[in-house]
Structure 1
């Protein structure tokens, strides 16, 4: 791999990747409704080939493979070896989905090999997203389609906003990432995403806002579900990193604050929190040579 995405690669092959594997079942359940919305927007047909970028443990790859049928295939790529290992372990015997540990921003793929470029929350982490999409576009057929789902602004997503607000007076001030820094919410700005895709050579860029309740945490009782939601918050995502070096006394206070926030929200066996995303689609123009790659400055 190149120096591109140099922070993301070791993180997702270390602690982040291991924790996502540990919580894979619940995390896939949280994101399922958004992945399905993006798959419907992609409208895969029998015989089409799909590149699934940032495929994680393979949930969307398996769904896409079922749509395109046994005579075609889906290639799921992810920078995380632990997640790709998990995807291979979960793969049904009859799936046409294949998996590869690779960085989609520089993966070597045949030109024009795919009908659809798809992603469920896997395209917001590129150091140079325009160059990454220009590279991936070369693997799409002329007229090929893009469909992905990405988070809107953090302020619109209670699953992260609420616990961060709960601990703001307990933890040292957490400097927010720059608006274009790689991260979960770096594609929240519709205008920026449109510029990236058009700069990479795509046309017909569209955005559909989509909102759904996310089942956060899981338990046999409401109290157990709330505790599990807090445990997930402490072990997966931005708050887990903010708490990593904090003493036990701070962590205990943060736990109580996050738990109080989650207890205010509906749900019996899970805590239901709002999630807000963009469903983004675009097209590789028919008259634009698939072999032509734009420069990173385009």
Structure 2
């Protein structure tokens, strides 16, 4: 007997994920997340080098912070289109664009199945928006079609968990309490492009040429505050809002949750410095051009 056909639309799981409670949490703490990830986006922005008059597609634009930076760079003669699958985040992006008076277009759509006309853009840009495609090679092949013949792509994606203590440290702190599931770096998620060889393979198979990767690392301030305790309070809120800890602890008992919170807080307090709770953060800045 033939197995039943999969009738789910492409990227259905990610679309549900970013339009459900997770999307609402990211919306509620969007300013916090934008501030913590801004430096990594700027590294990709510098590599992208958007020019006045260019047309740019911002992939996974979220609440629009990167789209607005791009709009300032390309000026009145250029154009910026932000695309995302999260309706809550796009709603915030449109509100901010209106308040800023910036003519950025935002579309709720799956960037892996773009509906833009061929040769629409000079530049494809993304800050952490390209790691969630269910079929990345096909997605990048479709995105490449939207580029002009001399177009280019630039994006930031996380290096492996071992180089990103914002992810790894809380998990390590509770390793003696709960067994963790290894990260599958070939599945959609924050570390889907942590392997440089996979990035080159995916982009090469999608038809891109001149693929280059540059490592970029800078502190990620997981907690801010006037005192070490305030820093820890801020960090703990974020650890339990986004990331793997909340999902891991949700089905556990109150006793396990209490022990885990104590262990994570103690581990984070060790990192307090003048600027906040500083953990490691490292990305690949990836650039390529149409072949």
Residue among 76, 87, 104 paired with 2:82: 76
**Does the 8 Å contact 1:220/1:269 carry over to 2?**
no
Q: Which residue of 2 aligns with 1:54?
A: 60
1:104-143 to 2 correspondences below 5 Å: 104-143=111-150
Q: Which residue of 2 aligns with 1:279?
A: 285
What is the TM-score when the length of structure 2 is the normalising length?
Answer: 0.94
Give the 3-state SS of the residue equivalent to 2:202 in structure 1. Answer: helix
What is the TM-score when the length of structure 1 is the normalising length?
Answer: 0.92
Q: Which residue of 1 aligns with 2:189?
A: 183
Q: CA deviation at 1:280?
A: 0.2
Give the 3-state SS of the residue equivalent to 1:235 in structure 2. Answer: coil
**Does the 8 Å contact 1:26/1:217 carry over to 2?**
no
**Does the 8 Å contact 1:52/1:61 carry over to 2?**
yes
Q: Structure 2 CA distance, aligned partners of 1:270 and 1:26? A: 13
* CA deviations over 1:119-166 (Å, ceiling 9, x no partner): 000101111000000011111101101000000000111111110100
RMSD: 1.4
**Does the 8 Å contact 1:29/1:215 carry over to 2?**
no
Q: CA deviation at 1:269?
A: 5.5
Q: CA deviation at 1:237?
A: 1.1
Residue among 30, 33, 37 paired with 1:31: 37
Give the 3-state SS of the residue equivalent to 2:12 in structure 1. Answer: coil
**Does the 8 Å contact 2:228/2:272 carry over to 1?**
no
Give the 3-state SS of the residue equivalent to 1:77 in structure 2. Answer: strand
Gaps of 5+ in 2: 1-6
Q: CA deviation at 1:253?
A: 1.1
- Does residue 167 (structure 1) correspond to residue 164 (structure 2)? The answer is no
Gaps of 5+ in 1: 286-298
The 1:90–1:269 alpha-carbon spacing in structure 2 relative to 1, beyond 3 Å, is farther
* CA deviations over 1:200-258 (Å, ceiling 9, x no partner): 00000000000000121233432111111011111111111111222222111111111
> Between Structure 1 and Structure 2, how many residues are aligned?
284
1:263-274 to 2 correspondences below 5 Å: 263-268=269-274, 270-274=276-280
**Does the 8 Å contact 2:85/2:109 carry over to 1?**
yes
Q: Structure 1 CA distance, aligned partners of 2:274 and 2:260? A: 23
Q: Structure 2 CA distance, aligned partners of 1:69 and 1:32? A: 21
- Does residue 67 (structure 1) correspond to residue 76 (structure 2)? The answer is no
* CA deviations over 1:74-98 (Å, ceiling 9, x no partner): 1111111111111112224331322
**Does the 8 Å contact 2:131/2:190 carry over to 1?**
yes
- Does residue 207 (structure 1) correspond to residue 207 (structure 2)? The answer is no
Q: Which residue of 1 aligns with 2:153?
A: 146
